[in-house]
Amino acid sequence: MIYRDPDTGEWIDPMADITGRRPHSAPRKVDAVARLTRTQRKRYVEVEGIICPWCQSKALKLGEITMDEFTFIRQTVVCLSCNKRWKDIYELTDIAED
């Protein structure tokens, strides 16, 4: 059944693969929480990344920090409860003197 995401207004087909096409064979099992909604992303930022955006666990492991040639810094985060993995993105917004 196709439904509309209340946060993005985007139409979602849970039976579609990542290309948006429906499989011709038996339906594949789809991870219902694979994509975060706008609301989930906003909440994660509001709580300053202290909980997993999927399962709300505080058991997070912070990983490698990388920086691109611009102003963004990324840090890998892994939830030890649900094993989801993502990258936090940081941006330089200000400077303070010592």
Q: Where exactly are the structural domains of the chain?
A: 3-91
pLDDT at residue 33, as a whole number: 42
pLDDT at residue 67, as a whole number: 85
Number of Cβ within 10 Å of residue 35's Cβ equals: 11
The larger pLDDT score, comparing residue 50 to residue 22, is at 50
Average model confidence (pLDDT) across the chain: 77
pLDDT at residue 77, as a whole number: 94
pLDDT at residue 68, as a whole number: 76
Confidence band of 98 (pLDDT split at 50, 70, 90): confident
86 pLDDT higher than 60: yes
In angstroms, the Cα distances linking 26 to 1, 2, 11, 12, 16 are: 15, 17, 22, 19, 12
Which candidate, 59, 69, 66, places its Cα nearest to that of 89? 66
